[in-house]
Amino acid sequence: MSDSSPDSSVPGDAPAPRRRLRPGERREQILHALAAMLEQPGAERITTAALARRLDVSEAALYRHFASKAQMFEGLIDFIEHSVFTLVRQIVEHPGEAGGAQRAARVAAMVLQFGERNPGMVRVMVGDALVFENERLQQRMNLFFDKVEATLRQCLRPAAEADGEAAPTVQAQVRAAALCDLIRGRLQRYARSGFRRLPTEHLDATLALLL
């Protein structure tokens, strides 16, 4: 007797096997999702539950890759530092025909362009996303901007000497501090405008006034 019941084991109906993630890929996915969530309005405080829902995994799965949410933010800060200072070294170590003031302008523009291309990272850079997190995260971002300012000073001191300034070190410090304030202020405005006011807006004219 033939069986007329439908065959429930048709190969085409079988669910596709899940692709095995390469080592480190889930960690990258978590950081990418966190950065993307920071781009959304009102996303200054993100819970691990919301992050897990976005990735369609359990919170326990997150903690298999990161010991804490603070460690996830440290991963974003690592990315910011590596990306920015790799480009800083290229500008400073291979200046071409650029003078010190031009190199400083390039560094400032590059940091602002990085923020413009990575709006979620801007919330970390200006500290909005770190308000409720471990204090050491904000300290790391403060150190980041201290290093940017030190680089700007390094670029501007020879320019001040070439201009015959009576106190080139002081002049370089003042200009570097003003440039760093400009960078932080433009990034804060970008974040708090909902990423509408671009940090590079009228940048060339502004840098010309400072330098």
pLDDT tens sequence across 121-169: 999 999 999 988 899 999 999 999 999 999 999 999 887 777 677 678 8
Q: What pTM was estimated for this model as a whole?
A: 0.84
Please give the single-letter amino acid code of residue 74. E
Give me the phi and psi of 64, to 5 degrees please: -75, -20
Tally of residues, the chain: 211
Q: Answer for the pair 152, 176: CB distance below 8 angstroms, yes or no.
A: yes
Within 10 A of 3 (CB to CB), how many other CB atoms are there? 6
How many whole angstroms separate alpha carbon 104 and alpha carbon 92? 9
Within 10 A of 68 (CB to CB), how many other CB atoms are there? 13
Any long-range contacts for 59-62 (C-beta under 8 Å, 24+ apart)? 61/26, 62/30
Domain locations in the chain? 71-209
Q: Tell me, rounded to whole angstroms, the distance of Cα 52 from its chain centroid.
A: 21
35: alpha, beta or left? (left if phi > 0; alpha if psi -120 to 50): alpha
Cα Rg of the chain (Å, integer): 24
Q: According to the 3-state scheme, what is the secondary structure of the chain?
A: CCCCCCCCCCHHHCCCCCCCCCCCHHHHHHHHHHHHHHCCCCCCCCCHHHHHHHHCCCHHHHHCCCCCHHHHHHHHHHHHHHHHHHHHHHHHHCCCCCCHHHHHHHHHHHHHHHHHHCHHHHHHHCCHHHCCCCHHHHHHHHHHHHHHHHHHHHHHHHHHHHCCCCCHHHHHHHHHHHHHHHHHHHHHHHHHCCCCCCCCCCHHHHHHHHC
Residue numbers in the chain where pLDDT is lower than 70? 1-23, 43-44, 163, 166
pLDDT at position 167 is 79
CATH superfamily name and code, 71-209: Tetracycline Repressor, domain 2 (1.10.357.10)
